[in-house]
């Protein structure tokens, strides 16, 4: 038996074990009253003719409040502080979900209803045809078993927009410590959403990148190897900290055919970025990441393959963690820049704003706004 055969057998065994465990959790949840399907909508995106709609079907209580629609989160007042115990309880509840696999969900798209089935983990990820809808935010209704309903928001990218932004999340717009296990667990389980720390100046920078004066708003896509269980929390963070709203493209943790416990960045991000390039062929992309994971190598590979589609690459240096990668990233940045795609390793949002203004990606006034948020005047 080859090593590949062994890995396949282990993966199959883990997937089977996951099914057994989830069946047990589902039975226990039904005893506890969580027996009614609920649809958790994700933010979708597309063009005026096609859009990708995502959601997850889970079990909940009959009288439970459905997750707030993305529209309701934007501009919400900050929630009241909670005790560490309450924070831990809410955080754990995000991961102790009971998915409803292989169930029918109807997408009520403007072009007509489409019936799809959830996958083995309760997800819906489907492209629908649209009848040449107007750019902007589109609301699409979803219905599922036993009267479950939800509304998914979909960003219809304006065809005249020529630049979009793809940003990592972890240690790129907020501190998570994803590369440091204990720090990540502490931030994820014991830190309430309003206490999560944004990187200084990042919100002002992103607003400048998507809101160039006199132009239609550009799209921003947040790509992360964080699990879909954190979608609602990250969406609240984006709203509370003044980041522009955009699709959150996360991943599923647990056994899969690409990994036993978690899909790595090398398997997740390149496929997503390339899919976005294909789905939005008129966009050149600004790629923003950090030095803690494989963002420099992933983005560099994309720039080598599609230099005409990448407007710039910005890599934030993670401070306080000696990764021994500084020289390696600088050499990679010089190589990609020589190909005609500007790639910079930066210390803060101000460095990005200055360079982006020189490239015509943001207005000159945006530099002062970012510096003001940084506190540097």
Q: Could you give the CA distance from residue 266 to residue 293 in angstroms, rounded to a whole number?
A: 9
Q: Please, is 91 exposed, middle or buried when counting C-beta atoms within 10 Å of its C-beta (0-12, 13-18, 19+)?
A: buried
> What pTM, to 2 d.p., does this model score?
0.82
**pLDDT tens, residue order, the chain (377 aa):** 565 555 555 445 544 445 545 555 455 545 455 578 999 999 999 999 999 999 999 998 765 555 554 544 444 444 445 566 665 566 566 667 888 999 999 999 999 999 999 998 899 999 999 999 999 999 999 999 999 999 999 999 999 999 999 999 987 888 665 555 556 555 555 455 666 678 899 999 999 999 988 889 999 999 998 888 889 889 989 999 999 999 999 987 554 444 444 455 567 799 999 999 999 999 999 999 999 889 999 999 999 999 999 999 999 998 765 556 888 999 999 999 999 999 999 999 999 999 999 999 999 999 999 999 988 65
8 Å CB contact between 48 and 135: yes
Q: Are strands 163-168 and 123-129 parallel, antiparallel or unpaired?
A: unpaired
E-state strands within 90-170: 104-109, 112-117, 123-129, 136-143, 149-156, 163-168
Tell me which residue of 134, 302, 298 sits closest to 216, measured CA to CA: 134
Interatomic CA distance for residues 99 and 59, integer angstroms: 6
Distance CA 214, CA 321 (A): 41
* 3-state SS assignment for residue 250: strand
Closest to 38 (Cα-Cα) out of 19, 71, 65? 65
């Amino acid at each position: 038996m080859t090593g590949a055969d062994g890995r396949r057998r282990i993966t199959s065994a883990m997937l089977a074990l996951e099914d057994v465990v989830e069946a047990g959790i589902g039975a226990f949840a039904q005893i506890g009253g969580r027996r009614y399907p609920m649809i958790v909508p994700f933010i979708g995106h597309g063009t005026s003719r096609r859009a990708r709609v995502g959601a997850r079907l889970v079990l909940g209580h009959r009288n439970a409040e459905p997750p707030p629609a993305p529209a309701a989160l934007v501009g919400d007042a900050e929630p009241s502080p909670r005790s560490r115990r309450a924070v831990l309880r809410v955080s754990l509840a995000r991961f102790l979900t009971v998915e409803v696999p292989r169930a029918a969900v109807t997408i009520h798209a403007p072009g007509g209803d489409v019936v799809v089935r959830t996958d083995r983990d309760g997800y819906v990820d489907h492209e629908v045809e649209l009848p040449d809808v107007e750019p902007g935010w589109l609301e699409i209704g979803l219905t599922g078993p036993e009267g479950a309903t939800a509304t998914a928001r979909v960003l219809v990218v304006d065809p005249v927009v020529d630049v979009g932004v793809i940003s990592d999340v972890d240690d790129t717009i907020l501190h998570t410590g994803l590369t440091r296990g204990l720090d990540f667990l502490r931030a994820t389980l014991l830190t309430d959403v309003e206490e999560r720390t944004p990187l200084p100046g990042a919100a002002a920078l992103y607003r400048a990148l998507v809101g160039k004066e006199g132009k239609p708003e550009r799209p921003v896509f947040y790509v992360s190897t964080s699990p879909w269980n954190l979608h609602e929390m990250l969406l609240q963070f984006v709203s509370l900290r003044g980041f522009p709203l955009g699709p959150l493209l996360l991943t599923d943790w647990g056994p899969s055919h690409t990994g036993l416990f978690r899909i790595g960045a090398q398997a997740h991000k390149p496929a997503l970025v390339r899919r976005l390039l294909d789905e939005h062929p008129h966009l050149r992309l600004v790629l923003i990441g950090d030095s803690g994971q494989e963002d420099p190598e992933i983005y560099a590979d994309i720039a080598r393959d599609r230099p005409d589609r990448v407007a710039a690459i910005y890599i934030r240096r993670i401070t306080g963690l000696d990764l021994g990668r500084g020289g390696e990233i600088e050499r990679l940045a010089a190589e990609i820049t020589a190909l005609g795609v500007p790639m910079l390793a930066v210390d803060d949002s101000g460095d990005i704003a200055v360079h982006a203004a020189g490239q015509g990606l943001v207005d000159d006034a945006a530099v002062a706004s970012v510096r003001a948020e940084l506190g540097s005047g």
